[in-house]
Amino acid sequence: MTSPVAATQKPVDLQAAEVQAQLHQDDTVLIDVREPMEHQAERIEGAVPMPLGSLDADALRQRYPGKRIIFHCAGGVRSAKACGKFAQGNDESTYHLAGGIAAWKQAGLPTLKPAKPGPIPIMRQVQIAAGSLVVVGLLLGWFVTPWFLLLSAFVGCGLIFAGATGWCGMANLLTVMPWNKI
């Protein structure tokens, strides 16, 4: 059961410069709630990767007792969700980098990138796969049988569903492919 305080408490939005200043203190930990592939592609120095889907608030509190936890993601949406998950059952304040790593870079602050580029980002892979399936469905529907047009319709419905719910089956499938393993 969630305490009334935590249920109504909103995360504290921190600007990039504020987060950078706090990172130089020993009482702050920056948690990156993006997916491992995103963290590997570009990250804020010192950020600890912990994807939103596997965020364990109790384990985080035990690992960093007495520390201020600041969450960040790509644009601020997932980090706000992480704050909500972290705050459940507690009345402590939660903090996140408003605007995520995008705001960090916009503020001119440094990020770390690997020397060798990683795989194509998942959403670009989804776009490539979905577009390819639509074209294949159209070509097969034109040259073989109109029944193949259902493939294009299926992909279109999947994209509509992903946009409406925020859950993309194709992205989840592509995430487990061997070329996307870290």
What residues act catalytically?
73
C-alpha to C-alpha distances, 82 to 85, 94, 127, 178, 182, nearest whole angstrom: 5, 9, 27, 28, 23
Six-digit token string for 28: 């702050």
Query: Which H or E run contains 169?
Result: helix 169-175
Helices (H), 9-148: 16-23, 36-41, 57-63, 77-87, 100-106, 122-143
CA angle in degrees (0–180, nearest 5) for 21-26-29:
75
The residue assigned the tokens 């993006």 is 34
Six-digit token string for 102: 């995008």
Residues 29 and 67 sit within 8 Å (Cβ to Cβ): yes
